[in-house]
Amino acid sequence: MLQGALRHSLIGLLLITPALAAPTAEQRGKAFARANCARCHAIDRASRSPLEGAPPLRMLHRRYPIETLGEALAEGIYTGHADMPAFELNPDQIHDLLSYLKTLE
């Protein structure tokens, strides 16, 4: 009886812990986008961009295959971004951000 209850809570713990311990790439990417892109670009599935002229991030994959976008991010996006600060992302940040963008497709 007691053993059964113990086993139950152990299984519960095992199921919960990974979610608490490490944020997924998607979650990190979303946090990155919220911190760095959200003041101009809409970063979710539905809202409008705060800055007119900044395409919602969910639209980017229609212009660029996600993989090409990764290259652009690695080199730093400067072109056509008069209003946008230049970003150079490291490979981990790019991986995270692209993982998040894929969830918006």
Which residues in this chain contact ligand HEC in the complex, by CB under 6 A? 36-37, 39-41, 51, 53-55, 60, 63, 69, 77, 79-81, 83-85, 87
Q: Do 19 and 3 contact (CB within 8 A), yes or no?
A: no
Nearer to ligand HEC, 11 or 75 (CB): 75
Q: How far is the CB of 97 from ligand HEC (least distance, A)?
A: 6
Closest distance to ligand HEC from the beta carbon of 77 (Å): 6
CB of 102 closer than 8 Å to CB of 94: no
Of 67 and 83, which has the nearer Cβ to ligand HEC? 83
- From the list 16, 43, 18, the residue with the least C-alpha distance to 30 is 43
* CA torsion angle 27 33 36 37 (round to 10): -170
Closest separation in Å from C-beta 23 to ligand HEC: 18
